[in-house]
Amino acid sequence: MRRTLLGTALLLALAGCSAQEPAAAPSPTPTPTTAVPTVVVTAGDSGPVRAEVADDEQERAVGLMGRTSVPRGTGMVFRYALPSSGRYYMFHVPVPLTAVFARSGVVVGVLDMPPCPAQQPQDCPTYGPDKPFDTVLETAPETVRGTVTVGDPLRVSG
């Protein structure tokens, strides 16, 4: 799916997280003027999350970077054709996020990711589960706090 991008990113990540090793980060871009495709994601006992879709390399690189807010019940879903063991970072992501990593519809990791104030992406910590994943949901921590654990189902519809 194609859409205008809003930011830059690394690993498992929302608001500008990316699933690569930190290198040169893309610059955040302006808010899109066209509609961004969204899906509904449910994980564990959390309510539905209206998530923008990042399913190609460029969209995943930008993620939620530059977003000044990620309201409860919203986020971004990162999809991979093949299982990944990449790492996410929070360079240029000014809000905290929680990343829910899944493989074949089963949660394999849930990680809180605080903003990284570093001036260079390589100076930011990276985040990821110990197991490969094919889907990552990034959302506001309060959206999934205490309601999603490893082994729970994760479903993407829409």
3-class SS letters over the chain: CCCCCCCCCCCCCCCCCCCCCCCCCCCCCCCCCCCCCEEEEEECCCCCEEEEEECCHHHHHHCCCCCCCCCCCEEEEEEEEEEECCCECCECCCCCEEEEEEECCEEEEEEEECCECCCCHHHCCCECCCCCEEEEEEECHHHHCCCCCCCCEEEEEC
The residue assigned the tokens 């893309």 is 26
Kindly tell me if the per-residue pLDDT of 29 is higher than 70: no
Kindly tell me if the per-residue pLDDT of 14 is higher than 70: no
The pTM is what? 0.80
CB atoms within 10 A of CB 86: 20
Domains delineated in the chain: 38-157 (2.60.120.1140)
Instruction: Please tell me the distance from the alpha carbon of residue 17 to that of residue 91, in angstroms, as a whole number.
Output: 7
At 36, the pLDDT band (50, 70, 90 cuts) reads confident
Q: What is the pLDDT of residue 35?
A: 61
Average pLDDT score over residue span 62-84: 95
Kindly tell me if the per-residue pLDDT of 11 is higher than 90: no
Return the closest-CA partner of residue 97 out of 144, 51, 52: 144
Work out the mean pLDDT of the chain and round it to a whole number: 83
Q: For residue range 56-69, what is the model confidence (pLDDT) as tens digits?
A: 889 888 999 999 99
The percent of residues in the chain predicted with pLDDT above 70, rounded, is: 78
